[in-house]
Chain A
């Protein structure tokens, strides 16, 4: 029963992903995107990873897709013009395929398949200074623990879901957590700084 449901959900997700691209109306397109998110969330919940599924719903459906929809609805697009520009772009499909192929080739050749052979230059230095990982073995162990799926699966089996995610995040992947947070922080502060300039010029004018 569950296996059939999982298959159905993944099929529905793929179908709605295709519809996202083929839909003429951008609002309908976002609607299908929401359908993808819902299907994937349902898939995760059915698999037993309810926490990730719910977070998916809260973050993607509850925040990101709403903002997408909000902006697209306010743009006041004309459907006819959109279809015309769309046809111009579809002429370049072979070009797009070539570029995508090159990108995938580069990615597949550069990124190592095994976690053990991850490049460790900057990360090992940070790991050594920040988290007292004294020896090179410690550093490598941390990296191995953070990226090896087998270890994380073991965590998921032995703790409750949130506890297991927290445990691997804060124990082995603390460094990557910090890096990700700094990137998010930059992404948040950047737009604010960009928007602040108009206020600055107005004060300069008043002086």
Chain B
């Protein structure tokens, strides 16, 4: 019994900071966007507007929830819950420092891929159950985009898995002590990040909610509390994807040895947080910089350009592993392999 209480507490200890970080992600987005557009941004609630997201949340919670008359009510309420729950479930396997994960699952990467693919159902059901043409078309647009870019995302992730020779997050991070995978797999990192942008419906792929020219996408009919769920899910997946990017390509909690210390502060977790923040910032930076793609361009880009590149990179990694006879089952050789890979990708760039 006590064990159950403890594991529930562990889950709470991860979830509450995650939800807080999601709240702060929204204020980061608004402040950074404001600075880049030479505005002030929210500045009245709390110091420098830091408490703005809580005021917003309170406003949304007390708003009335309007349900369309012909909606399929069960799915209408289930859809936002699916979105939020499955974007939060992704945090279960993230190691925040060595040994600090809710579950150090040996198939963690596969788990993440499975969870992210189930999350699409939230979008699909939201559009269909509202029984409104705007929401329905929005959800079809969004789903087509998400399942297309998921292919690219998983191809890039599988290349990392091949190089590391494991599906476990902790092992992938530990293998990057010699060199971050960003160095040998730079082309794949770019491909991965583009896929992440599309997967989280961010600029330049934010057609699902192109507020300036199309009616807001799949959540057109959702309001009040259930809209908050979608909102939270979206920003939660942004933070999660930033964390995953930093784990796969920038070494997660691994840092140069000169920073490491053994005091009571867990520097590893701070390092992971800093790397994640960096990618969160890049998300906003992209939004402020790039214009939106047209829908046919988006799909064309995915299937005609990104997918061949991703698969080519994947095959290249595979071929190099075989050609230099450095299967990652022998961890002591991986450092040498990474250097070889780095040189090859350098040559390719030149």
Contact = CB atoms under 8 A, between A and B. Distances in A.
Nearest to A73: B128
B117 A69 contact: no
Contact of B114 (A31, A57, A73, A162): A57
A42 to B, nearest CB: 12
Interface stretch (A48-56, A99-107, A141-149, A178-186): A48-56
A50 B114 CA distance: 12
Interface string B106-124: 1100110110011011001
A70 B143 CA distance: 8
A55 B110 contact: yes
Nearest to B119: A62
Contacts of B311: none
A63 interface: yes
A58 interface: yes
Nearest to A27: B128
Contact of A162 (B105, B120, B136, B167): B167
Given A62-B118, A63-B147, A66-B143, A51 B110 contact: yes
Contacts of A161: 107
Contacts, number: 53
B18 interface: no
A66 B128 contact: no
Contacts of B113: 54, 58, 62
A74 interface: yes
B124 A73 contact: yes
Given A27-B128, A66-B124, A57 B106 contact: no
Interface in B82-134: 105-107, 110-111, 113-114, 117-118, 120-121, 124, 128
B50 interface: no
Nearest to B112: A54
A73 B140 contact: yes
Nearest to A54: B110
Contacts of A62: 113-114, 117-118, 120, 150
Given A27-B128, A54-B110, A58-B114, A74 B121 contact: no
B111 A54 contact: yes
Given A61-B118, A63-B117, A66-B147, A50 B107 contact: yes
Contact of A61 (B75, B117, B136, B150): B117
B107 A66 contact: no
Contacts of B75: 31
A189 to B, nearest CB: 16
A90 interface: no
A61 B75 CA distance: 17
A73 B114 CA distance: 23
A40 interface: no
A57 B124 CA distance: 17
B162 to A, nearest CB: 12
B140 A70 contact: yes
Given A51-B107, A66-B121, A66-B143, 19 more contacts: A34-B121, A50-B105, A54-B114, A57-B117, A57-B118, A58-B110, A58-B114, A58-B117, A62-B113, A62-B117, A62-B150, A63-B117, A66-B120, A70-B124, A70-B144, A73-B136, A160-B106, A161-B107, A162-B167
Interface of A: 27, 31, 34, 50-51, 54-55, 57-58, 61-63, 66-67, 69-70, 73-74, 160-162
28 contacts: A27-B128, A34-B121, A50-B105, A51-B107, A54-B110, A54-B111, A54-B113, A54-B114, A57-B114, A57-B118, A61-B114, A61-B118, A62-B114, A62-B150, A63-B117, A63-B147, A66-B124, A66-B147, A67-B147, A69-B121, A70-B143, A70-B144, A73-B124, A73-B128, A74-B140, A160-B106, A162-B107, A162-B167
